[in-house]
């Protein structure tokens, strides 16, 4: 954790969490893993990229992921996103298919969702690191408290926000945050996960992008240009 700079707008929400013994234990554990020669993704300095690209006051939509991609060159700190030039992962292929069906937008040729993040879409994974080749390997190590605090910070704001929850993991995370459960002025758009294993169980046809824009426009928060 010491190698990551907390973006200014997120500090009031995160500093109390990051000062706990549990957070220090997480930081020490990550250092030890890397010192032992294990490859951790995304690289140092990019693990809080979602927060750096999307300042708290600018958040208009939150998309919750589970943990970073575990393949070489994939993860760069944004949920569901990969850098340009990296093969688009299957879940993101399905996201693009739904985007095309929902808004008529042509499918993007790359998987870099940075343009969404810059428009106020917080692409937040529950766990912010992973060991190379081992999906879910850093789950339960302490990231939950950090990312729960991020979700709570957004939920506590007066400005209406859309929370897009794909799959049971995202729904469970949202249910853990009391501030979100109490906040009736936000919109929750929930469906199955875009993974090939579940996309046909309710993700396809869920129209999250048009629902998000309709809500934001209704509440005077503009719309998001979902083109990549």
Annotated catalytic sites, by residue? 67
Burial of 223 (0-12, 13-18, 19+ CB in 10 A): middle
Tracing tokens 């093969």 back to the chain, one arrives at: 87
Residue 111 · residue 86 · CB < 8 Å:
yes
Tokens found for residue 167? 């799959």
For the chain, the 3-state helix, strand and coil shares in percent, each to the nearest 5, are 40, 10, 50
Pairing of strands 61-65, 121-125: parallel
Alpha carbon distance 134, 131 (integer Å): 6
Nearest Cα residue to 66 out of 152, 146, 156, 129: 129
Alpha carbon distance 77, 184 (integer Å): 29
């Amino acid at each position: 954790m010491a190698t990551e700079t907390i973006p200014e707008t997120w500090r009031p929400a995160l500093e109390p969490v990051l000062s706990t013994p549990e957070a220090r234990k997480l930081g020490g554990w990550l250092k030890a893993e890397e010192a032992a020669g294990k490859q951790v993704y995304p690289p140092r300095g990019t693990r809080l990229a979602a927060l750096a690209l999307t300042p708290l006051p600018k958040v208009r939509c939150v998309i919750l992921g589970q943990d970073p991609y575990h393949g070489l060159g994939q993860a760069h700190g944004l949920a569901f996103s990969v850098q340009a030039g990296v093969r688009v992962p299957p879940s993101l292929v399905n996201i693009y298919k739904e985007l095309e069906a929902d808004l008529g937008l042509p499918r993007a040729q790359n998987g870099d969702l940075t343009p969404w993040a810059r428009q106020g879409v917080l692409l937040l994974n529950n766990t912010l690191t992973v060991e190379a080749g081992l999906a879910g390997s850093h789950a339960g190590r302490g990231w939950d408290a950090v990312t729960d605090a991020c979700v709570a910070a957004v939920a506590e704001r007066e400005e209406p926000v859309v929370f897009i929850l794909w799959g049971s993991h995202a729904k469970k995370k949202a249910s853990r945050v009391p501030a979100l459960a109490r906040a009736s002025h936000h919109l929750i758009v929930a469906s199955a996960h875009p993974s090939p294993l579940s996309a046909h169980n309710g993700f396809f046809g869920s129209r999250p992008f048009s629902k998000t824009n309709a809500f934001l426009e209704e509440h005077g928060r503009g719309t998001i240009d979902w083109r990549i």
